[in-house]
Structure 1
Amino acid sequence: MGHLVTPHSHDSADKTDAALESSSRGMRVLAVSFGVLMVTALVQAVIVGLSGSVALLGDTLHNFADALTAVPLAIAFSLGRRAATRRFTYGYGRAEDLAGIVIVALIAASAGLAGYEAVKRLVDPQNVQALGLVAAAGVVGFLGNEWVARYRIKVGREIGSAALVADGLHARTDGFTSLAVLLGAGGTALGFPAADPLVGLLITVAICFVLRDAAREIYHRLMDAVDPALVAQAERILAAVPGVRRVGSVRLRWIGHALRAEVEIAVRPDASLVEAHAVAVEAEHRLIHDLPRLRAATVHADPDGPDGTDHHTPLLAHR
């Protein structure tokens, strides 16, 4: 009875349908936000050609990069809907983490290109034309990014996709960098032509901060980091299950936008195999229903006693 491992996955039709619907909603968000950001960036690109504003160029490049982040995420959502196989026994949810690496690379590329163009314009100054259009393009960039940010964050939180929420926060930051374009246009209008490339450099710095935050988020996912509050919540849920005398280790990990759990509980030492199994099943059942975004759990039941007895003695050399 010391190794009652009962992986009742709860992969019923309800769970499968919920997972597919989450991915479908994510795909819709990506398609709509891709269209909005591409239109925003194309409008800005036309004005860059008319004005020669390097600050607006930096913002436009960043908006194009932000729109393109929808592509790897869409691929990841599509892969994540595939069933697990004998080779990929946990499914394909990790594709979201790989998409995150691509997103970080795109952000880094936009930062590098924007910085290069700003420094180049400082070394070789050029007049900026159509300042009114430049200012209008900055406003367009802000409005497009803010709308996309709200949409991505709202749906991302509803379906439990950290990648989608992070991408929404990224879009919100992009909106404020778009407003910075107004500073460049205003400075140039007041007779300070260096304002445009200087604002371009400021936008580059802002992109670098976004890059740092995005890289940190992806690093945490790749290292299986979770919010400690989720672990504490899982422990409380398990402790409240009838028949659970003690809660042992609790391990959680994100696989795509779903959580998996591996937990240990202690039951009374004289419980029958059937009784201990029933406690483990109830513990898993409550975890799946009460812990947000949890799709599957494996519960290991140990006898709680007798005192001084170690039921894992054969495994000590392997731990």
Structure 2
Amino acid sequence: MSGQDTSEVGHGHGHGHGHGHSRSRTVAGLLSRVGHAIRPHSHDTADKTDQALEASSKGMRVLAVSFAALMATALVQSVIVAVSGSIALLGDTLHNFADALTALPLAIAFSLGRRAATRRFTYGYGRAEDLAGIVIVLLIAASAALAGYEAVVRLMHPQDVEALGWVAAAGVIGFLGNEAVARYRIKVGREIGSAALVADGLHARTDGFTSLAVLLGAGGAALGFPIADPIVGLAITAAICFVLRDAAREIYHRLMDAVDPRLVEQAESILSGVPGVKGVGSVRLRWIGHALRAEVDIQVSDRLSLVEAHAVAVAAEHRLIHDLPRLTAATVHADPDGSDGIDHHAVLATHR
């Protein structure tokens, strides 16, 4: 997880905070800030760390429950597949098995994410969720390939579907099981800020509707069109491919450190409202598991001392951690904002 003590990731370089207050008020405020700087946000860090651990615990619970529910659904469907020979139902069953198995890499990722950062993994192990996402994408792709293959084989070698009533019932069971899991995953995923869990919930919801498509295959077979079953199987394969596309895009965004631009705008707004911040420079956010980290640049008055500027940087970090959802740590770099025209980063120009 990325809930390390914010004092370890630092507050950047302090360079000042200036207002037109009287000297006595400035000194009083400075003493207050210095006292806070000496003990930087211990309450915030502890709260955020506790929230992160609780988030992982909730994630583990939802994965265990959803795994059991989907495995039970898929096992019931597999029995009916063996009796009926329905290719549409086979495709849905394979997808439900794959969806149940996605809980395993996510569970491993949540477990790893609770480990403390080390000198090698200095940001912790939260990115294990992204690796789990890759495994999930591969499982979805495998289920699509197998379902499509079976549907094509059945089109080339048609055969009657037996126990149509049971096939229809299995489709309904698949829908109910997936919808229950989808609601649970999405609810908890949004509570703990896990995009992977929310995406997996949306995946389960899509699976529920593909289960209903099995009813179409059973209905077509009942009306004397046995070819309807493999055709619906191909349709289910296409639906799985759409889910695969969305899941792959989600994981790609996480691997590339993409965030919702509205989060950047919110961070900029928060920083602009901090007393002593005269301007906001670059704002960089990244997800590490289901927690956010930030690296930001602010401008402060060039007339302030190092201690005063550091106090402004501390206040900016403090406000960010409080007001930006899922942010567990921030590095704040303060630059002097003077009118002397001096480029304080000139020595770095050739390195940027």
Classify the TM-score, shorter chain.
over 0.9
Which secondary structure state, in structure 2, belongs to the residue aligned with residue 265 of structure 1?
Answer: strand
Highest RCO, 1 vs 2 (Cα 8 Å, sep ≥ 6): 2
Residue number in structure 2 paired with 1:246: 279
Rounded to whole Å, the distance in 1 between the matches of 2:49 and 2:265 is 27
Rounded to whole Å, the distance in 2 between the matches of 1:56 and 1:251 is 47
Q: 1:32 aligns with which of 61, 65, 70?
A: 65
Rounded to whole Å, the distance in 1 between the matches of 2:338 and 2:245 is 49
Give yes or no for contact 2:293–2:329 (8 Å, CA) kept in 1. yes
Task: Tell me whether 1:174 sits opposite 2:207 in the alignment.
Answer: yes
Instruction: Output one character per residue of 1:8-56: Cα deviation in whole Å (capped at 9) or x when no partner.
Output: 6867332221111000000000000000000000000000001000000
Task: Tell me whether 1:261 sits opposite 2:261 in the alignment.
Answer: no
Task: Tell me whether 1:222 sits opposite 2:255 in the alignment.
Answer: yes
| Change in 2 beyond 3 A, CA 1:50/1:40 | same
Task: Tell me whether 1:309 sits opposite 2:342 in the alignment.
Answer: yes
Residue number in structure 2 paired with 1:142: 175
Task: Tell me whether 1:4 sits opposite 2:37 in the alignment.
Answer: no
Give yes or no for contact 2:41–2:318 (8 Å, CA) kept in 1. no
Deviation at 1:310, TM superposition (A): 0.8
1:265 maps to amino acid: I
Rounded to whole Å, the distance in 2 between the matches of 1:269 and 1:235 is 21
Residue number in structure 2 paired with 1:192: 225
For structure 2, which runs of at least 5 residues remain unmatched after alignment? 1-11, 16-36
Instruction: Output one character per residue of 1:250-303: Cα deviation in whole Å (capped at 9) or x when no partner.
Output: 000000000000000000110111111111001001101100000000000000
Rounded to whole Å, the distance in 2 between the matches of 1:161 and 1:9 is 25
Task: Tell me whether 1:286 sits opposite 2:319 in the alignment.
Answer: yes
Which secondary structure state, in structure 1, belongs to the residue aligned with residue 162 of structure 2?
Answer: coil
Rounded to whole Å, the distance in 2 between the matches of 1:216 and 1:17 is 31
Deviation at 1:309, TM superposition (A): 1.4
Rounded to whole Å, the distance in 1 between the matches of 2:285 and 2:335 is 19
Overall identity of the aligned pairs, in %: 83
Which secondary structure state, in structure 2, belongs to the residue aligned with residue 4 of structure 1?
Answer: coil
Q: 1:53 aligns with which of 76, 86, 90?
A: 86
| Change in 2 beyond 3 A, CA 1:91/1:132 | same
Which secondary structure state, in structure 2, belongs to the residue aligned with residue 219 of structure 1?
Answer: helix
2:299 maps to amino acid: A
Task: Tell me whether 1:112 sits opposite 2:140 in the alignment.
Answer: no
1:40 maps to amino acid: T
| Number of matched pairs | 317
Give yes or no for contact 2:164–2:218 (8 Å, CA) kept in 1. yes
Deviation at 1:126, TM superposition (A): 1.0
RMSD: 1.3
Instruction: Output one character per residue of 1:179-201: Cα deviation in whole Å (capped at 9) or x when no partner.
Output: 00000000000011100000000
Give yes or no for contact 1:9–1:298 (8 Å, CA) kept in 2. no
Deviation at 1:4, TM superposition (A): 3.3
Give yes or no for contact 1:9–1:296 (8 Å, CA) kept in 2. no
1:190 maps to amino acid: L
Which structure has the larger Rg? 2
Rounded to whole Å, the distance in 2 between the matches of 1:289 and 1:53 is 55
1:197 maps to amino acid: P
